[in-house]
Amino acid sequence: MTTKRDFLQLADLTRQELDQLFARSAVLKADRRARKTHQTLAGRTLAIVLEKNSTRTRLSFEAAIHQLGGHAITLATADSQLSRGEPIDDTARVTSSYADGIVFRTFGDDRLQTLARASSVPVINGLSAGGHPVQLLADLFTVIERLGTLEGRKVAWVGDGASNMAFSWIEAARIFGFELRIGAPKEYAPPASVLSTVGAGARVHVVSDPREAVQGADVVSTDVWTSMGQEAESAERLRVLGGYQLDAALLAKAAPSAIVLHCLPAHRGEEITGEVIDSPQSAIFQEAENRLHTSKALLELLLA
């Protein structure tokens, strides 16, 4: 019997598997544009369980499984017995008997871990407090497409350094060995518990000056300052993070060939300006499209 594999963080795949996933993503993207279809997941069902609202995660996984010959069932918490207090491990056991894989988008990592332990089919982290690994797959693939390689690159993260996206970038830096500079105020710097996972010799630096973080960078990435569930903190976050906006002046500190990433949705005029989003250096909508292709490659790896 094959042991089921979960994808709860980037490190759940080996470096070789991640490289192969990106290579497969490139093939699937080219085939999609050439109208070449695949049936690698024919007859497979993917359950997408959403405790947080979603646009790209839901659409990319629904489209991915469909385009590979399978079927998706999306279940929002409000439409399920989870909203009435059903234990999450009971939900996992039942869902496992109906589907071949589960994408779970949730708040706390404890809920993600509970569902993964109880599930008999692969579980994919569609977003949690501790990371957003499916987004990082698309981000890293986009860097490879635009810049050719991850090796030797300098990546700048600007804004909330204690966010799930920042955590996944830190994990990616450890796996791929690129330099990561996080420009964040001390109030929103990555916690020591996350930085301690990087290991000796890893090039992850936290600075308070966003200009220092961006200087000479090949990739500049950011995210909203107030994520889902943090709405009560919005005013304070806007006050503290107000000097960390990714605008044209800050981007000018990066390498001339630098690209801009943002996982979307973006609050234009807050963490990033519309001018930067729509600039030639922006790879944001290429990055969003790549969610589809990397999701396909991930589903093939885990479910085929």
Binding residues for L-ornithine: 164, 223, 227-228
Total number of residues shown for the chain: 304
Catalytic residue among 105, 153, 262, 293: 105
| 281 contacts 253 by C-beta, under 8 angstroms | no
Alpha carbon of residue 259 to chain centroid: 17
Catalytic residue among 100, 135, 262, 293: 135
To the query of whether residue 110 is one of the catalytic residues in this protein, the response is: no
Annotated binding site for carbamoyl phosphate: 54-57, 81, 105, 132-135, 263-264, 291
Catalytic residue among 132, 153, 181, 293: 132
| 40 contacts 70 by C-beta, under 8 angstroms | no
To the query of whether residue 215 is one of the catalytic residues in this protein, the response is: no
Catalytic residue among 9, 58, 223, 237: 223
To the query of whether residue 66 is one of the catalytic residues in this protein, the response is: no
Annotated binding site: 54-57, 81, 105, 132-135, 164, 223, 227-228, 263-264, 291
Provide the b/e sequence for 96-130 (b: ≥16 CB within 10 Å): beebbbbbbbbeebebbbbbbebbebbbbbbbbbb
To the query of whether residue 146 is one of the catalytic residues in this protein, the response is: no
DSSP state letters, 151-214: TT-EEEEES-TTSHHHHHHHHHHHHH--EEEEE--GGGSPPHHHHTTS-TT--EEEES-HHHHH
DSSP 3-state of 102:
strand
Tokens 């579980």 found at: 123
To the query of whether residue 209 is one of the catalytic residues in this protein, the response is: no
Distance CA 133, CA 62 (A): 17
To the query of whether residue 223 is one of the catalytic residues in this protein, the response is: yes
Residues labelled as active-site residues: 105, 132, 135, 223, 263, 291
